[in-house]
Amino acid sequence: MSFSLTITRRESNHDFVSVLREKTETVDTDERLFGHGARALRAVHNVVGFGELACLGYLWVCAITRRLNRWLGISVGVLGAEGIALLVAKGCPLGIFQRRLGDDVPMFELWFGPRIAPLAIPTFMLVTAGGLFLALAREPAP
């Protein structure tokens, strides 16, 4: 899989001419530049990320439907473990291994772009805390 991510910056937002004077910088995310280990780790990292998003989604489904069950406990455990790992590693723990293998593009930067990526972890933590609060504050459905 190969694609290129283009980042566009405007010099000024005050006039129409500034739109025509955009500076464009290309970040090469071509996986062919990486070794097998870096590609495999990127794939594993994406699977882990999607699994954690599934846990977050299930937390909110349970919070809205007032469902408390074993799968909710597992989801909260996974999200809690990831939160602790993010705090201990001061960022994504798998990102450390990615950089060692030559992959300097963080996963959230691939998913959301360089402008939104720094907001991903704080946003996901707030959404998780909100879902957990809602799930625990309401009585379970009969």
**pLDDT tens-digit profile of 88-98?**
988 888 988 98
Q: Which of 27, 9, 29 is nearest to 19 (CA)?
A: 9
Q: Which of 104, 89, 87, 90 is nearest to 5 (CA)?
A: 104
- Phi then psi for residue 15, to 5 deg, are -145, 165
Residue type for 26, please? Answer: T
- Summarised one tens digit per residue, pLDDT across range 3-12 is 454 444 444 4
- Alpha carbon distance 72, 59 (integer Å): 6
- Would you state the pLDDT for residue 137? 92
- pTM summary value: 0.73
The neighbouring-strand residues paired with 26 are 6
DSSP type of residue 139: P
Report domain extents, the chain. Answer: 1-33, 35-137
